[in-house]
Amino acid sequence: MSIWGKHSRKQRWNQFVSLMLTASLSVGCSGKREKKLSYIGNADLKYYEDVALKLEYPDVEAPIPEAVANSQAPRLLGDRSQDEFWDMTLAEAIHLALANNKVVRTRNDFLSTGNQLYTNADGIQSVYDPAIRESGVLFGARGVESALSAFDTTFTTNLMFNQNSSIQNNLFAAGGLPSGSVLDQNTATFAAGLQKNMAYGAQVGVSQNINYFESNQPILLIPSSYNSNLLFNYTQPLWAGAGTDFTRIAGPLNTSITGLSGVNQGVMIARLNTDMSLVDFEIQVRNSLRDLEDIYWELYLAYRSYDSQQVARESALQTWKEVKAKMDIGGKGGGAADEAQAREAYFSARSSAEDALQNLYTLEIQLRRMCGLSANDGRIIRPADEPISAEITPEWHICLAEALTRREELRRQKWNIKSYELQLSAAKNLANPQLNFVSSYQLNGFGQYLFNQNDPTLGRAGELQSMYRTQFAGGQTGWGAGFQFNMPLGLRNALAQVRNYELRVAKAREVLGQQELEVHHELAQSFQNLAWRYKTAQTNFNRRRAAVRQLEALEAEYKAGTKTLDLLLQAQTRLATAETAYYTSLVNYNKALSDLHFRKGTLLENDNVHLSEGLWTPEAYKDALRRAWARSHAMNTPAIDPVQHMPDPVDRDDADAQVPPSGATGQPDFLAPPVPGGENTMPQEAPLGPQPHQAVDGNVTNASELPATGEEQPAAYDAPATTDTPAILPAGPPADPPASTEELLPPAE
């Protein structure tokens, strides 16, 4: 039987070897007998190149804005259709711009190849940016919530199972098993713990550790047992990284890391970064509203310029008709040269009117863009507000104080200085050795089961039936306490960090001083521009009145035959030029007022725009109320009601931002009755709507520009009728020269 058994095993081995050789040979033969695949037709073997280099379009669900989807074709210069007028006030334009634009728009980006909407979409300011910064989690851009997460309680747990069997060659190492026996061991470990960083820098933790052990060693009292401990630990920094101030600035110090790292971003630094992000957003909104105001007044000027050019065109057409009629009957002043000259003057005036109309269309498109409207909705925007023509003389020192207090760029730099000062204090704290107090206390437990009743009949083993009963009985405890000290010899890195922040603070303060000097010069330039624009408006008002009188006189003399045609045509052109110059200077004066508010940092307030943050969480209000009660009742002064006591404001800049105008008595000075007989007075035009900008502040020293009651107002200028009707009629009352016979004299030298 054994022979056959051996022979059968030999046969099986030979069969296995033969099978492996056959398999290897068959694999080799298959390589030589590989069949060539054939294709029907000519295969394009480079199709993958076309696929790899093909432009792909992302499949993103993004609804098209209604302003784009519902837009009509833009209006063109030769279009004869009549559009409905939309008399828009400046306040309405500001409201539309704020309501429709979640991404801040600026004027300079329009039609620019470097438009940030295309080239730097992530860098452009929007209503989302402060919230994005608040919710930041990356180092260097952490928000408040991310900084607060350092104080969240951390829960950790793990569970591991192990089994091991081994032959023992030593009687003592085998725990009583005979040599050559198999030692079987089953183990398991479980750990669960809570760890929390305290606001004053301490670390508190509690953990439950359980170890299970099972073995076949005969010397064990309990072959299957649980060994556990409930551990409490407490670590308190005493030197570097200690204290609430450091923890609020740089966050809790990780005492498990040997050596001190750099200053991290704690809750206070994260909040300051959010404040700077809010200022950046406010600056962009301010710049956007300034561009909006400039475009609004430029559109007003475009309507006035088009009105003036239209009047000049109608006058030139009427003159051409009169000269043509004289030429047809052979009358005096109706020669061919006169007719050609009148015709050329008409087409020149018509070209100027067409240019003015196209400029009106262009500015109307820009205003629609700034307001977040479609390019054309069947209406054409027409400014309803009239520019201010009253002289406003602000007080220099009050405006300078407002600019140094409320200018957004200065406020942002002050936040930056505050951040560097806090980081400098944290760096000085880290320039000390690390000394920590460490302590621990534990409850130990042992038992055959996790939960069970003790069995006294089993002796000592019966008393150790329940692990948790043994642990919470408190019979086996342990504790530890001591100090940890760590200090790099020389503290070179820590001292270099202190020096770095000292230099940053010094630079930031110097930059703030230069910024204040720059704001001071900008405000001075704005004061000069304001006075210059008003004087220019006065001069151009006198120029327009003189041009009207000259045209009236030349028309009468031309009809009488004492003046030639070219003088009349030149007078008509000069009147149109004077009209445009007057309203240009008037619009520039209003833009100078807007620039003054811009330089003072009061543009948003002047436009009645206020920025505010969202509400806190309910827990934050409860905590603030609790702290307010603690602060209030800590005051024990009979003269002060402790319940009504309010703490000092944290932001001194905002508290001091409201600078009341000197001498403010309820009604601004510029509304006072005018001084009779004032020089260089410029009468107000009849307003089309409310005037939101009436004064820069309450310190106007010259109010003689307002017309007295019953003063003669400008009269309408009647243009000759014509059949050549423009596509769009001028807006508002025509830009008519005054009919007053009283000249505006220049000031005495």
Domain CATH code at residue 343:
1.20.1600.10
For residue 215, the cross-strand partners are: 185
User: Could you tell me if 424 and 465 lie in one domain?
Assistant: no
Contact predicate 706/675, CB 8 Å: no
**pLDDT reported for residue 43:** 58
- 62, with CB counted inside 10 A (0-12, 13-18, 19+), is exposed
**pLDDT reported for residue 594:** 94
Higher pLDDT, 623 or 649: 623
272-290 pLDDT, tens digit each: 999 999 999 999 999 999 9
3-state SS, residue 537? helix
Token pair recorded at residue 373: 């409207």
Q: What is the rounded distance in angstroms from the CA atom of residue 718 to the CA atom of residue 741?
A: 18
User: Could you tell me if 395 and 543 lie in one domain?
Assistant: yes
CA distances for 243 relative to 105, 369, 407, 422, 425, angstroms: 46, 54, 35, 14, 12
- 460, with CB counted inside 10 A (0-12, 13-18, 19+), is exposed
**pLDDT reported for residue 711:** 33
Q: What is the largest CA-CA distance in the chain?
A: 155
User: Could you tell me if 514 and 476 lie in one domain?
Assistant: no
To which H or E segment does residue 155 belong? Answer: strand 154-167
CA distances for 234 relative to 197, 202, 338, 481, 482, angstroms: 10, 7, 106, 9, 11
Which residue segment(s) compose the domain that 443 sits in? Answer: 168-177+208-237+434-486
- HEC per residue, 370-381: HHCCCCCCCEEE
Q: What are phi and psi of 223, to 5 degrees?
A: -60, -35
Q: What is the rounded distance in angstroms from the CA atom of residue 19 to the CA atom of residue 14?
A: 9
Q: Is the pLDDT of residue 208 over 90?
A: yes
Contact predicate 592/522, CB 8 Å: no
User: Could you tell me if 379 and 427 lie in one domain?
Assistant: yes
Per the listing, tokens 């951040």 go with 419
Please give the distance of CA 204 from its chain centroid, rounded to a whole number: 39
691-705 pLDDT, tens digit each: 333 333 333 333 333
Number of structural domains the chain divides into: 2
User: Could you tell me if 564 and 693 lie in one domain?
Assistant: yes
Residue type, 34: E
pLDDT tier at 400 (50, 70, 90 boundaries)?
Answer: very high
**pLDDT reported for residue 48:** 57
Contact predicate 697/392, CB 8 Å: no
Contact predicate 223/216, CB 8 Å: yes
**pLDDT reported for residue 696:** 34
Asked if residue 76 belongs to a domain, the reply is no
User: Could you tell me if 454 and 529 lie in one domain?
Assistant: no
User: Could you tell me if 529 and 592 lie in one domain?
Assistant: yes
Per the listing, tokens 């000759």 go with 720
pLDDT tier at 88 (50, 70, 90 boundaries)?
Answer: very high
580-603 pLDDT, tens digit each: 999 999 999 999 999 999 999 999
User: Could you tell me if 693 and 559 lie in one domain?
Assistant: yes
Asked if residue 424 belongs to a domain, the reply is yes
Contacts of 564 (CB under 8 A, 6+ apart): 558
Higher pLDDT, 471 or 174: 471
CA distances for 515 relative to 417, 521, 528, 655, angstroms: 13, 10, 20, 21
CA angle 57, 60, 62 (to 5 degrees): 125
Q: What are phi and psi of 167, to 5 degrees?
A: -80, 135
Token pair recorded at residue 266: 């704690």
User: Could you tell me if 535 and 471 lie in one domain?
Assistant: no
Question: Which of 27-31, 311-315, 638-642 ranks highest by mean pLDDT?
Answer: 311-315
**pLDDT reported for residue 523:** 95
Helix 492-560 × helix 565-600 angle, to 10°: 160
Asked if residue 551 belongs to a domain, the reply is yes
Taking the model in full, what pTM does it have? 0.71
Q: What is the rounded distance in angstroms from the CA atom of residue 209 to the CA atom of residue 229?
A: 5
**pLDDT reported for residue 457:** 63
Higher pLDDT, 117 or 744: 117
**pLDDT reported for residue 293:** 95
Asked if residue 639 belongs to a domain, the reply is no
Nearest to 228 by CA among 454, 450, 444, 480: 444
End-to-end CA distance of the chain: 144
Question: Which of 43-57, 416-430, 661-675 ranks highest by mean pLDDT?
Answer: 416-430
Question: What mean pLDDT is reported for the chain?
Answer: 77
Asked if residue 653 belongs to a domain, the reply is no
Of 451, 468, 486, which marks where a domain is finished? 486
Asked if residue 474 belongs to a domain, the reply is yes
408-419 pLDDT, tens digit each: 999 999 999 999
Nearest to 729 by CA among 125, 87, 141, 105: 87
Q: Are strands 84-88 and 379-383 parallel, antiparallel or unpaired?
A: parallel
Of 486, 503, 521, which marks where a domain is finished? 486
Q: Is the pLDDT of residue 730 over 70?
A: no
Q: Is the pLDDT of residue 682 over 60?
A: no
User: Could you tell me if 597 and 561 lie in one domain?
Assistant: yes
**pLDDT reported for residue 719:** 33
**pLDDT reported for residue 464:** 78
Question: Residue 319's CB: how many other CB atoms inside 10 A?
Answer: 24
Q: What is the rounded distance in angstroms from the CA atom of residue 554 to the CA atom of residue 560?
A: 10
Token pair recorded at residue 420: 């560097």
**pLDDT reported for residue 740:** 35
Q: What is the rounded distance in angstroms from the CA atom of residue 562 to the CA atom of residue 265?
A: 87
Asked if residue 441 belongs to a domain, the reply is yes
User: Could you tell me if 284 and 220 lie in one domain?
Assistant: no
Contacts of 247 (CB under 8 A, 6+ apart): 197, 199, 200, 201, 241, 253, 266
* pLDDT (average), residues 172-179: 68
Asked if residue 368 belongs to a domain, the reply is yes
Q: Is the pLDDT of residue 91 over 90?
A: yes
- 26, with CB counted inside 10 A (0-12, 13-18, 19+), is exposed
User: Could you tell me if 446 and 420 lie in one domain?
Assistant: no
Radius of gyration for the chain, computed over Cα atoms and rounded to the nearest angstrom:
44
Q: Is the pLDDT of residue 658 over 80?
A: no
Q: Is the pLDDT of residue 343 over 80?
A: yes
CA angle 604, 285, 120 (to 5 degrees): 170
Contact predicate 486/419, CB 8 Å: no
* Four-residue CA torsion sign, 445, 449, 455, 461: negative
Higher pLDDT, 5 or 69: 69
Of 450, 468, 486, which marks where a domain is finished? 486
Q: Is the pLDDT of residue 664 over 90?
A: no
* pLDDT (average), residues 39-44: 60
For residue 440, the cross-strand partners are: 233, 480
